Amino acid sequence: MANNNTRPAVFLDRDGTINREVEYLSWPDQLELIPGAATALRLLREAGFIIIVVTNQSGVARGFFDEERVKKVNKALETMLFQKGAVVDAWYYCPHHPEAGKPPYRKTCSCRKPYPGMVEQACRDFPINLSCSFVVGDNLSDMGLAENCGIRAVLVRTGHGEKVLQRAAGKLSEPVDFVAADLLDAAKWICAVQRAGG
């Protein structure tokens, strides 16, 4: 372990994990919390985890909405969570896509999940102990992110999760450490793993 001042983090996907999946969600009034999401964040924070949201927002590259809108939606979601006593430490998004739209957003970046750029940035911004950290998401790109960062992955069945599992028919292309019903189930499992010493 690097030093004793670092803390574990949970890197959370946004759409389909914290709030209900809506394709290219871009308005605050489309936000609906998945039941238990705020409680999940509270449990994780009480257990000492830094809470980081990492979200792919290729709708920007595709010209569906701008970065200001992404920030507005994140802010609105942060407020909804805060009203339920849940705090997010930081929000990161990737506005890029390798093929869609125009430069500067059309690019092969290192931040679009499953690439680890957003996690690497969070590790520069916060004293994170990566080896004790987790990724939670509803898509294979989230599981790939965990794989690329060498950390544990939890797939939630909300959002695209159920569909991803059905398509995989028991053989997911990315390693998954736990399949959770939803974010609250994921948080309980993560806290139990942590209590067990790992």
Helix, strand, or coil here: 51?
A: strand
Q: Which of Mg ion, Zn ion, none is residue 15 near (CB under 5 to 8 Å by kind)? A: Mg ion
Those residues whose C-beta lies under 8 Å from the C-beta of residue 134, and which sit 6 or more positions away, are 8, 9, 10, 11, 146, 151, 152, 153, 154, 190
Smallest gap from Cβ 68 to Mg ion, in A, equals 21
Please report the sign of the dihedral spanned by the C-alpha atoms of residue 180, residue 24, residue 142, residue 8: negative
Smallest gap from Cβ 115 to Zn ion, in A, equals 7
Residue 182 touching Mg ion (CB under 5 A): no
Residue 109 touching Zn ion (CB under 5 A): yes
Smallest gap from Cβ 108 to Zn ion, in A, equals 9
Is the CB of 36 or the CB of 144 nearer to Zn ion?
144
Could you tell me the CA-to-CA distances from 50 to 3, 9, 38, 41, 86 in Å, in that order?
Answer: 16, 4, 15, 10, 12
- Which region, judged by CB under 5 A, interacts with Zn ion, from 17-25, 42-50, 112-120, 171-179? 112-120
Question: Which of the residues 142 through 171 are near Mg ion (CB under 5 A)?
Answer: 159
- DSSP E strands in the chain: the ranges are 9-12, 50-56, 90-94, 134-137, 152-156, 178-180
| From 15, 147, 174, 182, residue interacting with Mg ion (rule: CB under 5 A) | 15
Question: Which of the residues 89 through 108 are near Zn ion (CB under 5 A)?
Answer: 94, 96
Residues that bind Zn ion (CB under 5 A): 94, 96, 109, 111-112
